[in-house]
Amino acid sequence: MLAATAFAVPAFALDDQQKKEMGEFIREYLIQNPEVMIEVQNALEAKQQNQRVDQSTKAVAANKEAIFASPTDITLGNPKGDVTVVEFFDYNCGYCKHALADMDTILKRDKNVRFVLKEFPILGPDSIAAHKVANAVRLVAPTKYAEFHRTLLGSREHASEETALSVATALGIDGAALRKSMKDNPNDDLVRQAYQLATAIGITGTPTYVVGDEAVFGAVGLDTIEEKVANVRACGKASC
């Protein structure tokens, strides 16, 4: 009973000697049992992840129209597909480049997926410039956008205004028309909207996907995305 009472005493009620002894005891215990720190770290990471998922799920529910049905986003695959996958990407993102094959495989295997490309340039001025060109391609030659996207994102070259224009003109898109569109229709507002949406969802990097009610952070791979799609069909949620 005395021991229980002693541990119930708040720290501020201990004198300096007692605090020193308790500190030494805790230090010695942790040195002898370092696995406790790993357990604490794992618990903290799990708590933070749960908080992040909860925040993103609420934000997805509150911003469905902007995420899934923005008229300024390009849609690949089946425009009337029963499940939509949204990808936030940057043309200079190495992980996005690797994930390009995942998108193509999904679209090849599953003819009932609607895939939305959400331009999210976060890797510096060259990325912003490359996405300005992409926006001009969307406006000037929308039927060429998919090929432009695959070519630029699939390239090993650093994406910039110059490289993006080079890709576009190589596809037969008029360079002068693109430059005029970039001047007349800068996509600053679109980029700002993407940033605001990403902040609400908790997106800090690319690629990030939104499937059903859930944000999926990082280049998680083909199997995970296909599992989320299957879950949406099975139970209406990305995680059943």
- At 51-74, the pLDDT tens digits run 777 778 899 999 999 999 999 999
pLDDT at 136: 97
Per-residue confidence band for 3, with pLDDT thresholds at 50, 70 and 90: very low
| Contacting residues for 96 by C-beta, under 8 A, at least 6 apart | 87, 89, 90, 153, 206, 207, 219
Per-residue confidence band for 25, with pLDDT thresholds at 50, 70 and 90: confident
How far apart are alpha carbons 176 and 18 in whole angstroms?
79
- At 120-176, the pLDDT tens digits run 999 999 999 999 999 999 999 999 999 999 999 999 999 999 999 999 999 999 999
pLDDT at 10: 54
pLDDT at 7: 45
How far apart are alpha carbons 174 and 92 in whole angstroms?
24
How far apart are alpha carbons 73 and 200 in whole angstroms?
18
Can you tell me the mean pLDDT for 94-112? Answer: 96
